[in-house]
């Protein structure tokens, strides 16, 4: 089934964590142009997924979702952000 992706704001995730008795102790957002040693591995994985599943019914929708997500990241509309949290003491 194909559906919309949801990208909550960092503040909303922090608020949800707070409601679950966690406190956010640090956040970090990756730059849009961040490149890592995993990039090549990711491309190889993508190629293998296409090789194995390119003819599958849902592949085109999945590939389009990935393309749109990459565009949103490039535009800095969506940021890859890490939240570090810990459970509050009772």
What pTM did the predictor assign?
A: 0.59
Give the pLDDT confidence of 18-37 residue by residue, as tens digits.
999 999 999 988 776 666 66
CA-nearest of 82, 89, 88, 87 to 26 is 82
Burial 8-42 (b: 16+ CB within 10 A, else e): eeeeeebeebeeeeeebeeeeeeeeeeeeeeeeee
Convert 46-85 into a string of H (helix), E (strand) and C (coil): HHHHHHHHCCCCCHHHHHHHHHHHHHHHHCCCCCCEEEEE
Give the pLDDT confidence of 35-44 residue by residue, as tens digits.
666 778 888 9
Q: Hey, where are the domains in the chain? A: 7-32+79-90, 35-74
């Amino acid at each position: 089934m194909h559906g919309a992706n949801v990208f909550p704001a960092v503040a909303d995730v922090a608020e949800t964590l707070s409601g679950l008795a966690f406190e956010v102790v640090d956040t970090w957002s990756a730059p849009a142009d961040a490149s890592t040693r995993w990039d090549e591995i990711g491309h190889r994985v993508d190629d293998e997924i296409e090789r194995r599943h390119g003819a599958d019914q849902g592949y085109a929708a999945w590939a389009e979702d990935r393309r749109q997500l990459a565009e949103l990241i490039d535009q800095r509309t969506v940021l890859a952000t890490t939240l570090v949290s810990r459970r509050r003491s009772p």
